[in-house]
Amino acid sequence: MITAPALLLALMEGAVGAAVLALTALGLSLVFGVMRVINIAHGEFVMLGAIIAWWCSAELLGAHPVLGFLFALLVAPLLVGLVALAADWLVLRRINYDPERTILATMGLLYIIQQSVLLLYGPDARPVEPPFYFRVQLPWFGYSGYKLIVIALALALLGATWLVLSKSRIGLYMRATRLDAETAQAFGVPVRRIYAIVFALGAMLAAVSGVLIAPMRQAHYLMGTDPLLLSFIVVIVGGLGNLRGTLLAALLIGLGDGMISVLFSPTLAKMIATLLVALVLIVRPGGLTREGAS
């Protein structure tokens, strides 16, 4: 039976899911839109972000959780961005960003990252102290205060990314490369460098969402699979490489997943999301929003 409190809980859970998912999927969509690279290792960047968040809170600092969290928000995207730059330089560039070969290459990257983390960090799921620990007591149920903060932080980060893409010179280069790489190059856009930057930026977005997720769900070496799957669903539903569509789809899928999970069952939510992908591919292969330039 659907009651008002259940609906509220569903909305809240959905909003948290949608916010984090939007960050992750935006990274994946950006990489695909600009570089035409389908990055299978994208979920592992999320996982790396969460693992680094654990290191920052527990191993290195041991200080106040807020400091550790802020430090992680800074360090995780930087480190993961470097990993992505290295992957771009060592692998993707060597195979000339060929779409088919990059799928295989990034799949290899997925295993390399996952197994390296298994070796260095171990197989345990480890809790990450949330920066703020408080419960919001509603008349019907309680809710984690940190989750509400995650929504705000994710929105702020999305806004910042949007600003970079639409207002800065580098954002202009990215959009130009996305529309037509050859023409952009002819106009003096350093396409190769833009590729590297975009790949790093995509990874950084994933890493940030990993840092946000870690205090809610612990850090574990296998945690990259779920965000990858959901991000793919979002990117397909939103239209491959279409950033505005991606955000819209993240909202739809995230909220929908939360709502259906709470009101019915999480399995049904996954089924409907998958069905939606199939429907979109058949009815509107371009995505829900038609070719909206970002």
Instruction: Tell which positions 105-134 bind other proteins, by CB under 8 A.
Output: 118, 122-125, 127, 129, 133
Instruction: Tell which positions 194-253 bind other proteins, by CB under 8 A.
Output: 216-218, 220, 222-223, 226
CB of 10 to other proteins, least distance (A): 7
Binding other proteins (rule: CB under 8 A), the pick from 64, 94, 135, 284 is: 135
CB atoms within 10 A of CB 152: 10
Rounded Cα distance, 70 and 48, in Å: 16
H/E element, 169: helix 169-179
Rounded Cα distance, 274 and 118, in Å: 30
Binding other proteins (rule: CB under 8 A), the pick from 4, 100, 137, 169 is: 137
Report CA 157 to chain centroid distance, whole Å: 12
Rounded Cα distance, 35 and 293, in Å: 16
CB of 24 to other proteins, least distance (A): 14
Instruction: Tell which positions 17-46 bind other proteins, by CB under 8 A.
Output: none
Q: Which stretch binds other proteins (CB under 8 A): 101-109, 142-150, 151-159, 204-212?
A: 142-150
Our CB check for other proteins shows the closer of 79 and 216 to be 216
Instruction: Output the CA–CA distances (angstroms, integers) from residue 79 to 52, 53, 75, 84, in the order listed.
Output: 9, 11, 6, 9
Q: Is the dihedral of CA 63, 156, 128, 141 positive or negative?
A: positive
Instruction: Output the CA–CA distances (angstroms, integers) from residue 264 to 98, 158, 256, in the order listed.
Output: 42, 30, 11
CB of 74 to other proteins, least distance (A): 24
Using CB under 8 A, list all residues that contact other proteins: 5-6, 9-10, 13, 118, 122-125, 127, 129, 133, 135, 137, 141-144, 216-218, 220, 222-223, 226, 258, 261-263, 266
